[in-house]
Amino acid sequence: MNWILDNLDLMLELTLQHIRLSLPPIILGFLISVPLGWVAYRFQLTRGFLLTVAGLLYTIPSLALFVILPPILGISFLSEINITIALTIYAVAILTRSVADALGSVDPAVRDCATAMGYGPWRRFWTVEFPLAGPVTLAGLRVAAVSTVSLVTVGILIGVQSLGYLFTNGLQRRILVEVFAGVVLVVLVALLIDALLAMAGRRLMPWAPRPRSSRRLALRGSAAPE
């Protein structure tokens, strides 16, 4: 317990550093995967290719990716940008599929209605399809965000400071409380970002289905004449 009280400053500093490292991959991942997901959704030919590549990239273990990327990109092994790019790749890998699925989940009748009302492809995408695809996209974004926050810790192995420092330092000094504090802080940061995304989703997308009992939803699903 004493360790925690003595090291509040360190914990705060590492938490802020951790958040600073987590946000760029989440934001960049989202921005990149919206057009990619659209391409995957819109063109059957690219769909298989894009989603397969995304799946394969997502398969590569993080520590291996941190080592493989620098020589390819010509950057230093120990640089922060290495972590940012690797984690952005993971976020894109998760989100491209989400965006493609989300656009696919939009009711075709609604899309046809928009077309019939004279919406061009661009306006239809931004004002009808993308907003309706929002809830499913958000579900993917939350998964990507939480896994990004947890993966940032691996960066400590190649020397990038984050809450992961509490793990390696705690092991070296055999301080259980330090490692435990690290795990708890990472989970808290993940839950905080997740909650913020969920809140933003409710604010920005009042049309999203409210969370309700899953069984009722399943029953409604099977009763629908779809």
Q: Which residues bind another protein (CB under 8 A)?
A: 55-56, 58-65, 67-68, 71-72, 74, 77, 90, 94, 97-98, 101-102, 104-105, 135-136, 139-140, 143, 146-147, 149-151, 153-154, 156-158, 163-164, 166-168, 170-171, 174, 176, 179-180, 182-183, 186-187, 190-191, 194, 209, 214-215, 217-219, 221-222, 224, 226
Burial class (CB in 10 A: 0-12, 13-18, 19+), 139: middle
Give least dist CB 78 to another protein, A.
9
Identity of the residue, 50 or 136, whose beta carbon is nearer to another protein in the bound complex: 136
Q: Report the residue number, 46 or 104, with the smaller CB distance to another protein.
A: 104
Q: Which residues contact 52 (CB under 8 A, 6 or more apart)?
A: none
Tokens (6 digits) for 25: 């991959």
Q: How many CB atoms lie within 10 A of CB 42?
A: 13
Q: In angstroms, what is the minimal distance from the CB of 64 to another protein?
A: 4
Q: Which of 32, 37, 27, 34 is nearest to 200 (CA)?
A: 27
Q: Which residue number, 122 or 213, has a Cβ lying nearer to another protein?
A: 213
* Least distance CB 162 / another protein (angstroms): 10
Least distance (Å) from another protein to the CB of residue 223? 9
Q: Which residues contact 93 (CB under 8 A, 6 or more apart)?
A: 54, 55, 57, 58
Nearer to another protein, 61 or 120 (CB): 61
CB of 90 or CB of 122, closer to another protein: 90
CB of 140 to another protein, least distance (A): 5
List the alpha helices (DSSP H) in the chain.
2-6, 8-42, 44-59, 62-73, 80-104, 108-116, 121-124, 130-151, 164-172, 176-204, 214-223
Size of the chain in residues? 226
Residue 118 or residue 164: which is nearer to another protein going by CB? 164
Q: From the CB of 167, what's the least distance to another protein, in Å?
A: 5
Nearest approach in angstroms of CB 118 to another protein is 26
Tell which residue, 95, 3, 31, 105, has the closest CA to residue 57: 95
Residue closer to another protein (CB basis): 42 or 120: 42
Residue 183 corresponds to which amino acid? V
Structural contact between residues 104 and 96, judged by C-beta atoms closer than 8 angstroms: no
Is the Cα torsion angle 152, 139, 34, 205 positive or negative in sign?
Answer: negative
